[in-house]
C-alpha cells in the first residue's frame, strides 16, 4: 500500500518505519527541514531501542522515504496518517492546531479518494473536525478514521510490531476493511484488531492512559498509607496483583508518572469531561496525587537536611521520566532539581542517555557526570529517580566511600531496606518500613 505519515516525532517515526517494514511504500513527511535531513542521513533524533536499525533497513530498501514536501506526499498516497503533536493548552485541553492545519493541507492536495487516519492522541470529536477541515478544500471523497497508538517509550518498536491489540475507529466498512488488511501482518499470532465507531476509538486511547495513571497514583496513595502505619507496600502490591481481577501491572509505587502521554492525557480528559458537564472527581484525584508524589524526594531531603541546603551537593541518578528513553517531559527529576536549586543546593546528575536532553533543558544550572559513580563524589546524599538497569546492582561499598554521608533517597525502591541498613546506609524509600 502507498502510505504517508505526516509528522516525524516519536509516534510518526515508529509508525512509518514499522509500516515500511511490513512491505508498504511509506513516505514520512515533516516541515522541519533539519530533522528530515538528519533522518535521510540515518540519524535518529530520539532514543528508542531498535528504531535506528529499523529506519536504516527500510531506507536502504527504498520502502521508506523522508521529505518536507507534504503536498507531494499527500498526492502520492492512498492512506494518510496524521501523527503531529497535540500539546496541552493552558487549560489542559489538547491543542489541535497542527492536526487541523494538516487536515486542510490534505484537502487541498489530495488527487483522489483518500483514507485519513488520526494517529495523534486527540479528544473525542476530533475526527469529525478533521473531516470538516479536509472536506472544506477537497474535491474527492475522504474517509476519516481513528487508530490510536499504544506505544510505550522504551519499547515502542516491539509494541508496534507485536501489538497486544489494534484499535480501529471507522464509520465506513470499506475503509475499515482496508485498514484491517494493513495491520493484519502485525497480529498473526492471534491478537485482536478491534473495529469500532470513531468516537469509541478516540475515547479508548484516553481511557487506557487514564486507567494506567490511576493505578500508579492509587499505589502511591497506598504507599503513603503504608508508611503511616508501618506496613510494607511491596507486600500490599503482591497481595493486590495476585487477584486476577486486578493483575500486577502498573502497581509499583514511586515518585510519580511523567512523560508525554499520561500527564497530558489525564489533563485533556479532565477538560473534556468538564466541557460535557461531567465532574472528573477521580481524574482530578489522580492528577493531585501525582503532583504531590513528584515532590516526595524533595520533601524528604528538606526534612533530613533543613530548608537551607547551601553547602550541600546532591547526587542524582536518573533524569528521564522512565528507563530506555531520553524523554524528560514532565519528569519527576525536574521537580526535585528545581526544589534543590531554589533552596541553595547543588546537583550533580547522571543518566545513561538523557544528559544531552538535560543540558538542553537545564543548561549549566547543574553538573553532569559520565558515570553514575562519578556523580557521588562528596555528595551529602544520593537521590534515585529512574530505575535504569545499571543502578539496580551497584557497588555499594564504592558508593559509600564516594558519598560524604551514606544517605540514599530511593524513589524507585531498587534496594532491600534490610540490606541497606546492614551496609550502614541511611535509606529512605517509598512505602516500605525502614530497617535499622
Total residue count of the chain as it appears in this document = 436
Gap between the Cα atoms of 257 and 364, Å rounded: 26
Gap between the Cα atoms of 97 and 23, Å rounded: 32
Backbone angles phi, psi at 410, to 5 degrees: -105, 105
What spatial distance separates the first Cα and last Cα of the chain, rounded to whole Å? 64
Residue 78: is it exposed, middle or buried by C-beta count within 10 angstroms (0-12/13-18/19+)?
A: middle
Gap between the Cα atoms of 388 and 325, Å rounded: 10
Q: With contact defined as beta carbons under 8 Å apart, do 75 and 110 qualify?
A: yes
Q: What is the DSSP secondary-structure string of 266-294?
A: HHHHHHHHHHTT---HHHHHHHHHHHHHT
Reduced to 3 states, what is the DSSP secondary structure of residue 136?
coil
Gap between the Cα atoms of 302 and 27, Å rounded: 52
Q: What is the DSSP secondary-structure string of 350-385?
A: E-SS-HHHHHHHHGGGSEE-SSTTGGGTT-SEEEE-
Which of the residues 28, 145, 261, 429 is marked catalytic? Answer: 261
Active site residue 145: no
Grid cell listed for 262: 499520561
Query: Closest Cα to residue 123, out of 272, 9, 7, 262?
Result: 272
Task: Name the residues annotated as catalytic.
Answer: 261
Amino acid at each position: 500500500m502507498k502510505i504517508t505519515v505526516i509528522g516525524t516525532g516519536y509516534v510518526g517515526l515508529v509508525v512509518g518505519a514499522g509500516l515500511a517494514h511490513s512491505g508498504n511504500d511509506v513516505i514520512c513527511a515533516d516541515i522541519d527541514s533539519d530533522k528530515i535531513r538528519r533522518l535521510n542521513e540515518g540519524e535518529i533524533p530520539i532514543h528508542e531501542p531498535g528504531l535506528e536499525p529499523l529506519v536504516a533497513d527500510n531506507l536502504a530498501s527504498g520502502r521508506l522515504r523522508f521529505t518536507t514536501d507534504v503536498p507531494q506526499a499527500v498526492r502520492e498516497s492512498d492512506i494518510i496518517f496524521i501523527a503531529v503533536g497535540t500539546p496541552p493548552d493552558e487549560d489542559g485541553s489538547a491543542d489541535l492546531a497542527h492536526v487541523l492545519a494538516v487536515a486542510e493541507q490534505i484537502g487541498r492536495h489530495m488527487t483522489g479518494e483518500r483514507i485519513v487516519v488520526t494517529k495523534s492522541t486527540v479528544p473525542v470529536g476530533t475526527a469529525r473536525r478533521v473531516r470538516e477541515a479536509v472536506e472544506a478544500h477537497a474535491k474527492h471523497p475522504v474517509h476519516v478514521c481513528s487508530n490510536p497508538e499504544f506505544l510505550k517509550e522504551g519499547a515502542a518498536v516491539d509494541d508496534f510490531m507485536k501489538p497486544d491489540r489494534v484499535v480501529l475507529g471507522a464509520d465506513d466498512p470499506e475503509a475499515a476493511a482496508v485498514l484491517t488488511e494493513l495491520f493484519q501482518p502485525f497480529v498473526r499470532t492471534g491478537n485482536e484488531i478491534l473495529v469500532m465507531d470513531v468516537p469509541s476509538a478516540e475515547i479508548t486511547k484516553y481511557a487506557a492512559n487514564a486507567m494506567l495513571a490511576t493505578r500508579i497514583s492509587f499505589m502511591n496513595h497506598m504507599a503513603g498509607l503504608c508508611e503511616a502505619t508501618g506496613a510494607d507496600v511491596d507486600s500490599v502490591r503482591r497481595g493486590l496483583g495476585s487477584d486476577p481481577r486486578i493483575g500486577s501491572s502498573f502497581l509499583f509505587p514511586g515518585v510519580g508518572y511523567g512523560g508525554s502521554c499520561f500527564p497530558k492525557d489525564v489533563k485533556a480528559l479532565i477538560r473534556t469531561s468538564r466541557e460535557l458537564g461531567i465532574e472528573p472527581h477521580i481524574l482530578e484525584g489522580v492528577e493531585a496525587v501525582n503532583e504531590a508524589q513528584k515532590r516526595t524526594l524533595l520533601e524528604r531531603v528538606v526534612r533530613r537536611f533543613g530548608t537551607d541546603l547551601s553547602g550541600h551537593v546532591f547526587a542524582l541518578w536518573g533524569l528521564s521520566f522512565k528507563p530506555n528513553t531520553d524523554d524528560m517531559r514532565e519528569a519527576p527529576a525536574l521537580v526535585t532539581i528545581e526544589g534543590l536549586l531554589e533552596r541553595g543546593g547543588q546537583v550533580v546528575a547522571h543518566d545513561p542517555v538523557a544528559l544531552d536532553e538535560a543540558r538542553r533543558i537545564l543548561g549549566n544550572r547543574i553538573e553532569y557526570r559520565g558515570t553514575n559513580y562519578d556523580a557521588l563524589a562528596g555528595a551529602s546524599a544520593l537521590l534515585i529517580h529512574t530505575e535504569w538497569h545499571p543502578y539496580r546492582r551497584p557497588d555499594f561499598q564504592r558508593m559509600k566511600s564516594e558519598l560524604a554521608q551514606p544517605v540514599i533517597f530511593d524513589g524507585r525502591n531498587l534496594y532491600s531496606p534490610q540490606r541497606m541498613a546492614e551496609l550502614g546506609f541511611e535509606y529512605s524509600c517509598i512505602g516500605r518500613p525502614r530497617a535499622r
